[in-house]
Amino acid sequence: MPYLLEMKNITKTFGSVKAIDNVCLRLNAGEIVSLCGENGSGKSTLMKVLCGIYPHGSYEGEIIFAGEEIQASHIRDTERKGIAIIHQELALVKELTVLENIFLGNEITHNGIMDYDLMTLRCQKLLAQVSLSISPDTRVGDLGLGQQQLVEIAKALNKQVRLLILDEPTASLTEQETSVLLDIIRDLQQHGIACIYISHKLNEVKAISDTICVIRDGQHIGTRDAAGMSEDDIITMMVGRELTALYPNEPHTTGDEILRIEHLTAWHPVNRHIKRVNDVSFSLKRGEILGIAGLVGAGRTETIQCLFGVWPGQWEGKIYIDGKQVDIRNCQQAIAQGIAMVPEDRKRDGIVPVMAVGKNITLAALNKFTGGISQLDDA
């Protein structure tokens, strides 16, 4: 039986640097291959060659897909063949609805007029296929990252995908969201859809893969059946040596209570009749790590947003820090109390992409770096 995909002796250079050197990769229909390697090993470069982001002629080697050679000059060429890639940075338009994102550039029209009824019906079927119970009219920016990831997969399925490439798909997902995603990938496999899975989380690689391909320093190190490999085997192939020492578990003790939340309740920003958090109470001791678990939509993120003063809706409850009740209604007040937050969507809520790294790092503590009234000390 011929392979669905064969990448033969692919070499890609940037100036005098070989990003990938004579790399081969192949897989069958319905097969899940994990592509493993350290950062900078060449994984993403190889996938960009496959998808046409780096066009034919800019690399050496041959790509055969479904028995035909691909000479793509644009990513649209490979999409028409049934190859879709979902990057770690999702390619969704946050201001558009789920339906508009899924059909963006692939609208159903009759006589030049978009058929919203047919697109809605199709969208509902696609969302059901990825186990997503949301309205097609939901704005993508209102979804969590796990839900956005599933919308991206639904978008790929709408293009009659035969090979799905997932680049670090669980980097920002919770354990529960990751479990849902892996189940969906397995379901797609049952329908004959092949998958190239890129991840540094080796437990996921072991759980989802039929085959594991390792790249190191731009070169193909080996491809093996996943069932016969341990995580240590994968690491050894990735780094070129056996790891004999890991970080030890250091004993520690917890101190006095530093934070206490009592009867926290938060309402939907638009619909005051919907509670997003309902009577939640917990406490935290100095030196303690507290995990907050729950399904998508359970209210985990909303709880933390209330604590940090950035929940856009109304909320009530009591917050105590070091035994003293405090009122936190914005992030400045939270920072003044010594609270920091790493948000779920780092790119949207955590950084200012147009600003330099140094300015992003100091943004929440400008009072420490100002001289005079408002002059920043760049040193």
- How are strands ordered across the β-sheet holding 275-285? 275-285, 257-267, 315-321, 324-326
Asked if 23 and 218 count as a contact pair (C-beta separation under 8 A), the reply is: yes
> Which CATH superfamily groups domain 5-239?
P-loop containing nucleotide triphosphate hydrolases (3.40.50.300)
CA 347 vs CA 13, 102, 354, 356: distances in Å: 30, 22, 11, 14
Annotate 226-267 with DSSP letters as a single string: GGG--HHHHHHHHHSS--------------SEEEEEEEEEEE
Q: How far apart are the first and last CA of the chain?
A: 64
Handedness of CA 178, 182, 184, 185 (dihedral sign): positive
For 75, phi then psi, to 5°, come to -60, -25
CATH number for the domain whose boundaries are 257-341: 3.40.50.300
Strands 275-285 and 257-267: antiparallel
Given a cut of 70, the residues of the chain with pLDDT beneath it are 243-247, 370-379
Asked if 87 and 108 count as a contact pair (C-beta separation under 8 A), the reply is: no
Report the 10 Å Cβ neighbour count for 322: 13
Q: What is the DSSP letter of 349?
A: I
Report the 10 Å Cβ neighbour count for 188: 21
Number of residues that make up the chain: 379
pLDDT at 297: 78
Residues 6+ away with beta carbon under 8 Å from 73: 52, 55, 56
pTM for the model stands at 0.68
Which tokens go with 41?
């090993």
pLDDT at 372: 54
Report the 10 Å Cβ neighbour count for 274: 11
Element (H, E) at 369: none
pLDDT at 243: 66
Residue 209: left (phi > 0), alpha (psi -120 to 50), or beta? beta
Q: What is the pLDDT of residues 59-86, one digit of tens each?
A: 999 999 999 999 999 999 999 999 999 8
Instruction: Report the C-alpha gap between 132 and 239 in whole angstroms.
Output: 38
Asked if 348 and 342 count as a contact pair (C-beta separation under 8 A), the reply is: no
Residues of the chain with CATH 3.40.50.300: 5-239, 257-341
Asked if 168 and 198 count as a contact pair (C-beta separation under 8 A), the reply is: yes
pLDDT at 90: 82
Residues 6+ away with beta carbon under 8 Å from 80: none
